[in-house]
């Protein structure tokens, strides 16, 4: 991790109407500090985490790993994705060091025997981390380092060809999150043809509920995060209108906004900044982003910033983390913050990356006046 100044605007109230300003420079410094901790401060600035031999679980030369490092070791690849994509939205990705170091770390988590990626060096492969790895490589324009056929075979091999569902790994847990991961991953690699897309969408359709939303499996409770995975997967497949009532689901999503401006994932739950992604992306895809109070949500997100050290927390007064920092910045991007790069609501990458790859997805138009 290199020590470097963060150039550019320090704050901006671009697109905001009160409630503070987005602390761009401070958030970039926070993310760079996290990268230094991830890689190990002794290893320099290539972002690779060193020699790729389990360093994500160590505490540095001669030091035992901390409890935090042990508890989060399985999230290394996903944490890299959240942090690097957040830096890209801040238009500061080059400060994270040469691409070669990042690519080296990602590929150190590749399991050649299966074709999938683990969450850290030496960890078992899983659908979640395979998508994160592919997203990072897409962000850097380095999909060329992949054995695409092997990765696609791993993803396709986790589909149940009878009911269309996807498992997360060889142990067989089924969840609509994995349906989204599979369709997104194969779309990024230009290989949706390897999946039974129609059956995948039919399975998602069976996870729909009376309130218009979706659960993790048929009969499971509607949840804001699961709604995103289902809606985005259907958008990749171009099947939204076959399985979604945009007005009914849009109403459920809009109802997630609480009096303080923040969004929750289910009725009677507390607001959480991460739903600025899960809920807003779904509303964006459905053409109903205007159904929430944007100004009050913007104020909620900005109030969750750490004004001393940077980063964004889940809610006011809590500790910032990379997960909520990424999704908070993504939410501000949806809300029109002109100091941030535009984020794609389907692929969860900067829109410029999605455009560079020539990817498309189905986005519904806003409803006609009088039909809402």
Quick one: pLDDT band at residue 23, thresholds 50, 70, 90?
Answer: very high
Q: Please report whether residue 321 resides in a domain.
A: no
Q: Is residue 263 part of a domain?
A: no
Confidence of residue 75 (pLDDT cuts 50, 70, 90): confident
Does any domain span residue 6? no
89 within some domain = yes
Residue 344 lies in a domain: no
Would you say residue 101 lies in a domain? Answer: yes
For 299-323, how does the pLDDT look when each residue is reduced to its tens digit (9 = 90+)? Answer: 999 999 999 999 999 999 999 999 9
Q: What is the reported pLDDT for 20?
A: 83
pLDDT digits (tens, 9 = 90+) for 95-131: 999 999 999 999 999 999 999 999 999 999 999 999 9
Residue-number span of the structural domain to which 153 is assigned: 20-49+84-157
Percent over 90 (pLDDT), the chain? 82
Q: Do the domain assignments include residue 296? A: no
Cβ within 8 Å of residue 227, ≥6 positions away? 213, 214, 249, 252, 253, 278, 279, 282
Q: How many domains does the chain have?
A: 1
Q: How confident is the model over 28-58, as pLDDT tens digits? A: 999 999 988 877 633 433 344 344 444 444 5
The per-residue pLDDT of the chain, averaged, comes to 90
Percent pLDDT > 70 in the chain is: 87
More confident residue, 330 or 60: 330
């Amino acid at each position: 991790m290199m020590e470097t100044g963060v150039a550019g605007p320090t704050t901006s109230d671009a697109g905001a109407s009160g409630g503070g300003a987005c602390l761009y420079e401070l958030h970039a410094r926070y993310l760079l500090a996290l990268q230094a901790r991830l890689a190990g401060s002794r290893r320099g600035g290539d972002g690779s985490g060193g020699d790729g031999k389990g360093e994500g679980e160590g505490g540095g030369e001669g030091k035992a790993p901390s409890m935090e490092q042990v508890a989060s070791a399985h999230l290394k690849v996903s944490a890299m994705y959240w942090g690097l994509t957040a830096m890209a939205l801040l238009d500061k990705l080059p400060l994270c060091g040469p691409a070669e170091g990042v690519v080296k770390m990602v590929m150190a988590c590749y399991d050649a025997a299966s074709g999938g990626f683990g969450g850290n060096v030496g960890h078992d492969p899983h659908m979640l981390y395979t998508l994160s790895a592919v997203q990072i490589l897409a962000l850097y324009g380095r999909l060329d380092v992949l054995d695409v056929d092997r990765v696609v075979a791993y993803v396709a091999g986790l589909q149940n060809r009878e009911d269309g569902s996807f498992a997360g790994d060889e142990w067989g847990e089924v969840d609509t999150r994995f349906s989204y991961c599979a369709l997104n991953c194969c779309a990024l690699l230009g290989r949706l043809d390897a999946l039974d897309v129609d059956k995948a969408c039919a399975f998602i359709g069976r996870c729909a509920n009376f309130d218009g939303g979706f659960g993790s499996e048929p009969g499971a409770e509607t949840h804001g995060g699961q709604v995103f995975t289902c809606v985005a997967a259907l958008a990749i497949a171009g099947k939204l209108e076959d399985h979604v009532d945009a007005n009914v689901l849009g109403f459920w999503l809009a109802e997630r906004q609480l009096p303080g401006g923040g969004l929750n994932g289910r009725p009677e739950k507390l607001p959480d900044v991460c739903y600025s992604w899960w809920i807003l992306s779904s509303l964006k895809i459905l053409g109903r982003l205007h159904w929430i109070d944007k100004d009050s949500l913007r104020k909620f997100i900005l109030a969750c910033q750490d004004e001393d050290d940077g980063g964004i927390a889940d809610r006011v007064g809590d500790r910032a983390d990379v997960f909520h920092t990424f999704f908070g910045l993504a939410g501000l991007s949806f809300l029109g913050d002109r100091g941030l790069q535009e984020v794609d609501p389907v692929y969860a990458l900067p829109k410029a990356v999605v455009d560079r790859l020539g990817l498309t997805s189905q986005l519904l138009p806003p409803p006609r006046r009088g039909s809402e």
